[in-house]
Amino acid sequence: MKKRFGKNDFIFFGIIVILLIGILVWFYILRPTSGDSVTITIDGEVYGVYSLEEEQEIPIPNKNGEISNILLISSGKAKMIEADCPDKLCMNQNSIYRNNENIVCLPNRVVVTVTSKESDEIDAIAK
């Protein structure tokens, strides 16, 4: 009669359990920090910096001065609630609140980025 589980099976299951524990540690302990504010850039230039603490609707103009997008900041999260672009992909993106998350509206050249006052512990230096 055959054995159901051998030594290799236990090693395989052990590796899977260690990987799952590593993933849980990443998501619950080492996850990115929440940001303090959002920076809105239009065509590469900073339009404004707004706190995530304050509930507000921010109208974002296009280069003609007409309102093209509206960003809603509520409950510490930012979400694009209105856009006049044809695909409206920026409205379908999830709310952002973690440091360095983005909402991008390519047709209107709008980028919303969550920023934090705290610097990241890990820093890269390019040579």
Same domain, 103 and 63: yes
Give mean pLDDT, residues 21-28. 84
Same domain, 27 and 43: no
What is the structure's pLDDT at 35?
Answer: 86
The CA-CA-CA angle for residues 125, 50, 95, to 5°, reads 80
Q: What's the CA dihedral at 39, 42, 45, 51 to 10 degrees?
A: -20
For residue 107, is it within any domain?
yes
Contact 90, 83 (CB under 8 A): yes
Q: Are residues 89 and 54 in the same domain?
A: yes
Number of domains making up the chain: 2
Give residue 81's region: left, alpha or beta (phi > 0; psi -120 to 50): alpha
Amino acid, single-letter form, for residue 83: A
Question: Do 83 and 47 reside in the same domain of the chain?
Answer: yes
Render pLDDT for 26-79 as a digit per residue (tens, 0 to 9).
777 776 678 889 999 999 999 999 999 999 999 999 888 888 999 999 999 999
Per DSSP, the three-state class of 124 is coil
Using one digit for the tens of pLDDT, what is the confidence trace for 92-108? 999 999 888 999 999 99
